[in-house]
Amino acid sequence: MPLDLTPDELLTTTRAVRRRLDLTRPVPRRLLLECLEVAVQAPTGSNSQAWQWVFVEDPAKKRTLEDLYGRSFDPYVDRAGPAYAPDDTRAQRAARVRESATYLRHHLHEVPVLLIPCYRGRLAGDAPPVAQASYYGSILPAVWSFMLAARARGLGTAWTTLHLPFEREAADLLGIPYDDYTQVGLFPIAHTIGTAFKPAPRLPLEPIVHFDSW
């Protein structure tokens, strides 16, 4: 049964869920496919629809993906980030975000399903901004739609990218044709522990909004 959320509630309460993923409750494939039916309605450049969606349920493969993820996460997590003023909400939430991210790193293999969306082609290392924007703009709206559809069905997700330094190893593990498709992230999927989520603190609009000139 979908949650009774208004469009604005859905958009403002779809969070990166890490600690509140139910690691014990299976996710039926029916729900995954329902979310994907919604996701593939997203706009995509030139109507190419050149995406592929790899769901990983096999415990051994999930454990290997966790290992790849950890190889990036472990040296990254304690790296000094941007310096924010003490009264900045980003500074106030930094420890909490780090703790939840660390929890996911150590429990990634226990999440019922992992999703790796892929898009056809590979960008050259010196691809101009217009090529990068066009390429990722053809897959990221669909991924976000998947996350929204999951939230509406009581599922939690989180957008992670730290396995990507080892993308080729992940491709070999899952049979993804590395030369032909680019992985754009790794998404844990599980029922959430509780369904009540709140909007997150965000910066005020005034310092980030411009009309007609910067």
Least confident interval from 12-21, 36-45, 80-89, 134-143? 80-89
pLDDT-derived band at 1, boundaries 50, 70, 90: low
In degrees rounded to 5, what are phi and psi of residue 36? -70, -35
Confidence at 105, pLDDT banded by 50, 70, 90: very high
CATH number of domain containing 11? 3.40.109.10
Share of the chain above pLDDT 90, in %: 87
Q: Answer whether residue 80 shows pLDDT above 90.
A: no
**CA 181 distance to own-chain centroid:** 18
In residues, how long is the chain?
Answer: 214
Residue 208 lies inside a defined structural domain of this protein: no
The per-residue pLDDT for range 10-22, each reduced to its tens digit, is 999 999 999 999 9
56 C-beta neighbours (distance < 10 Å), count: 19
**pLDDT score, position 138:** 97
pLDDT reading at 171 higher than 70: yes
State residue 73's pLDDT score: 94
Q: Among the listed ranges 42-51, 73-82, 106-115, which one has the minimum average pLDDT value?
A: 73-82
Task: Report the SS3 class of residue 118.
Answer: strand
Helices 29-39 and 140-152 pack at an angle, to 10 degrees, of: 130
Average pLDDT over residues 15-43: 97
- Worst-scoring range by mean pLDDT, 61-65, 74-78, 177-181? 74-78
Residue 109 lies in a domain: yes
User: Could you tell me the two tokens for 14?
Assistant: 């779809």
Number of domains in the chain: 1
Backbone phi, psi, residue 129, to 5° = -55, -40
Number of C-alpha atoms within 13 angstroms, CB side, residue 137?
Answer: 9
Question: What is the residue-averaged pLDDT of the chain?
Answer: 94
DSSP tag of 195: S
Residue 1 lies in a domain: no
- Residue 78: the pLDDT is 76
With CA atoms as reference, report the closest residue to 160 among 124, 202, 122, 115: 115
Q: Domain residues for 144?
A: 7-197
Quick one: average pLDDT of 85-111? 86
pTM for the full predicted model: 0.94
